[in-house]
Structure 1
């Protein structure tokens, strides 16, 4: 009986150590991405491009080789124009990794390409709820809203992207163009 307690104590201690290590790794990852976002806000355009790529790379890490493979296969299917296959891969990913924001973002892109805007917006909402500074997802929301003629809301989405990533692709141009529509042209 005593031997069982010793084994149980070791097992509990081992599980506790694994939990502490996992939490520590998650905290380090969160601190790393927070640091990248802080640097992105202050970066010049050339540095912003590199930092943005680093952030995207960090956001694409699921922590599971299997989930990373589903993400990769879904992206490959999307690039090949196989939207239905991409949606299937991304759905498997979101089913198995419901806390992985990039899975929802990727599926939102596939849904948008299939002109399924309702599910696309729902997935963007989920991605943003998991990662509030997910600027590619917020940009995608702006693009969908713009496509649907919701210029006020699209402008707000692009402004949010700009506040996170001042040098993001053509967001400044979109803000200027939509700003004229939203506020009207000056005479």
Structure 2
């Protein structure tokens, strides 16, 4: 049980979550763009270095963002090695985290400050304000899901994960986070399903792949 809990905490920190590689940074459910952004860094962004800022030009319209994400998810599946995959992940995270609103950006900076100071109540109130202003903002739902998870409020975390996935079904961090919570709740079958969906979107999640192998043997009674 100890190892399961440890893996769960690691997976959900950047979310949500979570990605696959090195130890988790300060809590961000994503949440999570490059290291010198106002928000926390995903584990993969530490090895290798993030792409230069000049390569991270962000779209200016939702339609352009959608096209950019479609291209990047295709590139993620086709990435020839882990280094390439990490670069693509960083760009996806940057798109999910961007906001055209100065108010939202300021609030998210304050969320980061409150979270770093372990003031989760303050961070949650700030995220509530973010989502009231911009209910379509995926990063807000993702980070709030992570905070709820870290407070052991699984029900609220699951509700926010659902909102993330409604807006972006390919959110591999949220899918991994869903799997972690299902595993901690003892629902290995649903956990396995969520982990498999995360891998279908992002086949470079090494630790998720390990969990899929372990749970497949446990649920199906056979090796994969």
Q: Shift of the alpha carbon at 1:181?
A: 1.2
Residue 95 (structure 2) pairs with residue 64 (structure 1): no
Which structure shows the bigger proportion of residues in helix conformation?
Answer: 1
Alignment of 1:46-125 (within 5 A): 46-125=83-162
Q: TM-score, normalised by structure 2?
A: 0.69
Q: Shift of the alpha carbon at 1:95?
A: 1.0
CA gap of 1:42–1:119, structure 2 versus 1, over 3 A, is same
After the TM superposition, list the runs of 4 or more consecutive aligned residues in structure 1 that deviate by more than 6 angstroms: none
Indicate the residue corresponding to 2:166 in structure 1.
129
Report the aligned-residue RMSD. Answer: 1.5
Instruction: Measure the CA separation in 2 of the matches of 1:78 and 1:168.
Output: 26
Larger Rg: 1
Greater Cα shift, 35-44 or 66-75: 66-75
Instruction: Measure the CA separation in 1 of the matches of 2:176 and 2:109.
Output: 21
Number of paired residues? 163
Residue 193 (structure 2) pairs with residue 156 (structure 1): yes
Any idea what the Cα deviations from partners look like across 1:107-127, whole Å, max 9, x if unmatched?
000000111111100000011
Q: TM-score, normalised by structure 1?
A: 0.82
Instruction: Measure the CA separation in 2 of the matches of 1:183 and 1:52.
Output: 31
Higher RCO, 1 vs 2 (CA within 8 Å, ≥6 residues apart): 2
Q: Shift of the alpha carbon at 1:62?
A: 2.3
Unaligned runs of 5+ in 2: 1-59
Residue 72 (structure 2) pairs with residue 36 (structure 1): yes
